[in-house]
Amino acid sequence: MFFKKTPVRQFRYDAVCDRCGEGVLIYTGKDSHSMHPMMQHLGGNKYFHKCNKCEAVKLAPEQWPRIVLEDDGASELIEFPAKPKSDGSPAG
């Protein structure tokens, strides 16, 4: 089986709190489906976050911080598992 092996760079996106402008929003592990049924009308903004500075609570459509990988070079085609070399050595 063949794979493409690509070097990547990793970035973390922290959502800056729009209330205090200093803290960042951290996903609390809760979403609106684990809350009261009255709160399930919130559509896409279902993940509860809390500012790590002013403790403002905010709903968001995705979980932050978010890790994003970007390509950092050309891909290389590799085969895995590697085939034994056909150089005539005994396989054992």
Q: What is the Cα–Cα distance from 27 to 14, expressed in whole angstroms? A: 11
**Euclidean distance between CA atoms 56 and 20, whole angstroms:** 9
**Closer to Zn ion at the Cβ: 24 or 39?**
24
Q: Which residues in the 10-49 window bind Zn ion by CB under 5 A?
A: 17, 19-20, 23
Among 89, 66, 54, which residue's Cα sits nearest to residue 13? 66
Site string for Zn ion, 54-83 (x = CB under 5 A): x-x---------------------------
Select 56 or 60, whichever has its Cβ closest to Zn ion. Answer: 56
| 76-79 vs 2-5, strand pairing mode | antiparallel
Q: Is 39 helix (H, G, I), strand (E, B) or coil?
A: helix
- The residue within the footprint of Zn ion, chosen from 27, 53, 58, 65 (CB under 5 A), is 53
Interface contacts to Zn ion, rule CB under 5 A: 17, 19-20, 23, 51, 53-54, 56
